[in-house]
Structure 1
Amino acid sequence: MVFYIINEDFHKIPENLSFEQAALVEPMGIAAYAILGKAGVRTGDFVVILGTGPIALLALQMVKAAGASRVVTTGLDADEDSRFKAARAFGADMTINAQRKDPVALIKEATGGKGVDLVIDLSGAPSAILSGFKMLKKDGRFCAIGLPYGNVDFPWAEAVLGAYTVFFSFSSDFRAWEQCLQMMSQGKIKADGFTDNCFSLDDWSKALDTARSGKALKVIIKPS
């Protein structure tokens, strides 16, 4: 007797993508589901991305490909050596170290006091989230992806007066993964730097140490 498993929820990897590149679809799908599927990117949008982790750097390329005119990323001292450099290489027009400079003041200056169209939080840091609302222009959009460890005091009155739209998002879906595979296959999203740190399963300890160091954009463990 022969048993067959029938499941349509499989993704075909384009021939011009490696398995290592395709592995980026999982984190990238989180960004695509929230940003492309919910908040949307309009041609000419000025976008701020809070955070410089792997998803944030993939999201940076995504919003650029979707038509954003300017993209700014914010981070911390730990991001100065590698993450900010990577962000600029991927198209960031400005990187802001929130531990050294006031990101709200810099964004207001860059927009002539108006604020930006879209803020995407991928930091999960309450202080960054609150500063993000202060960067929005009237009728601006806030896309919440980062997951805080505690509660965040939501600036309700400020959001009402600014007529902001807030999009909350968690995980991804089948369509988002397909979008990501297509964007990577078309060269709209670059995997440069994300697949440099591949380890065998036997070297799992070294892989985790590399991930904890914060110096690698992404760490991949291969079963063989």
Structure 2
Amino acid sequence: MPDPGPGEVLVDVQACGVCHTDLHYRDGAVTDDFPFLLGHEAAGTVAAVGEGVTGLRAGDYVVLAWRAPCGACRSCRRGRPWYCFDSRNARRPMTLLDGTPLTNALGIGAFAEKTLVAAGQAVRIDPAARPEAAGLIGCGVMAGYGAAVHTGGVGRGDSVAVIGCGGVGAAAIAGACLNGAVKVIAIDIDDRKLDQAERFGATHTVNSRGTDPVEAVRELTNGFGVDVAIDAVGRPETFLQAFSMRDHAGTLVQVGVPSPGAQVELPLLDVFSRGGAIKPSWYGDCLPSRDFPFLVDQYLNGLLDLNAFVSGTVSLDDVEDAFAKMYRGDVLRSVVVL
């Protein structure tokens, strides 16, 4: 574990969620730069800061972000830091005892007692927030909430459909409800997840294992379709379903991460004639320094139930079991507690 260099901070990890992206890394679906240090939905306290770091000091309670805008690239200069093309990470890798460098998942690597990150990745939050819940803001909750609120622009009176009600989809449902949507339709093939979706505010549920979700959504919207359809799965079939269940000029938000070989085929005339927008959502188009403290405030004020995302806590030795539960759909999030 290197000491923090200029612009870096060392963080004592208190809790870290087990995310689907960690599973993608483990299975080699993101990069082949093995060996990996997984874990990126983390909360903890700053242990030490490097030269030139301002705004953070030892003892600060933080949530880690896997994007830290540089402030200088062409996207940041255009006032769109959530699309930063040169996001900051720690410059030196953590290593195995024999010196083998580790690839930190999403530039964090928090399945460990300590992790080294760029200072901009450590976002200070209210210490009253429970670390098991707060850490989830670092990825899944932010991605889903932001997909609805920032990318999809859900507002008062809107109708919304969310395909896939895991952690990201549940956060999208919560975000849509908090931002004033009046009809929020949760779609999944697992009744357990649909039950959970109602806890986050879904007004209607559709089990798409035996029901055509497009037809079901149209029946629930007087034949029109929804204003915003969110694909939180990332498979070709769910993308096409989301495309077809929109109202005219509606918005499709893709936040589920597709596999590298996934492809869709759409008649170009359908794309043109339906109008609206097809918008991928990167990290919920968030600005961590702005959005993490806001979501924590929503949580502490009882408006966003982050505790409901925590299905259970595990030790580092239990991560493989947590992956197995994720495969089976038994959990929204297992959280490693250190």
Normalising to structure 1: TM-score of the pair? Answer: 0.88
Alignment equivalent of 2:264, drawn from 143, 147, 152? 152
Maintained 8 Å contact 2:125/2:293:
no
Aligned residues: CA RMSD: 2.0
Alignment equivalent of 1:125, drawn from 217, 235, 242? 235
Aligned residue for 2:172?
A: 59
Q: Note the C-alpha offset of 1:22.
A: 0.5
The verdict on how the C-alpha distance between 1:206 and 1:137 changes in structure 2, with shifts beyond 3 A counting, is closer
* Cα deviation digits, residues 68-111 of structure 1 (max 9, x gap): 001001111xx12x211111122211111112111111111111
Maintained 8 Å contact 1:46/1:68:
yes
Identity, % of aligned positions: 26
* Cα deviation digits, residues 27-71 of structure 1 (max 9, x gap): 111123433222211100000001111110111111100100010
Aligned-partner residue type, residue 136 of structure 2: L
Aligned-partner residue type, residue 256 of structure 2: G
Are residues 1:114 and 2:227 paired?
no
Q: Please identify runs of 4+ aligned residues in structure 1 that moved more than 4 A.
A: none
Are residues 1:210 and 2:325 paired?
yes
Normalising to structure 2: TM-score of the pair? Answer: 0.60
Q: Note the C-alpha offset of 1:157.
A: 1.7
Q: Answer with 1 or 2: which has the greater Rg.
A: 2
Higher helix residue share: 1
Higher strand residue share: 2
Aligned residue for 1:90?
A: 200
Maintained 8 Å contact 2:156/2:179:
yes
2 CA distance for matches of 1:3 and 1:122?
A: 38
2 CA distance for matches of 1:181 and 1:192?
A: 12
5+ residue gaps in structure 1? none
Are residues 1:163 and 2:210 paired?
no
2 CA distance for matches of 1:17 and 1:178?
A: 10
Aligned-partner residue type, residue 92 of structure 1: A
SS in 2 for 1:183: helix
Greater Cα shift, 212-221 or 33-42: 33-42
* Cα deviation digits, residues 104-124 of structure 1 (max 9, x gap): 111111111111111011011
* Cα deviation digits, residues 148-176 of structure 1 (max 9, x gap): 22112234322211112122122344233
Maintained 8 Å contact 1:61/1:188:
no
2 CA distance for matches of 1:109 and 1:84?
A: 18
Are residues 1:48 and 2:158 paired?
no
Are residues 1:35 and 2:35 paired?
no
5+ residue gaps in structure 2? 1-48, 56-119
Aligned residue for 1:100?
A: 210
Aligned-partner residue type, residue 175 of structure 2: M
2 CA distance for matches of 1:67 and 1:19?
A: 28
2 CA distance for matches of 1:211 and 1:115?
A: 31
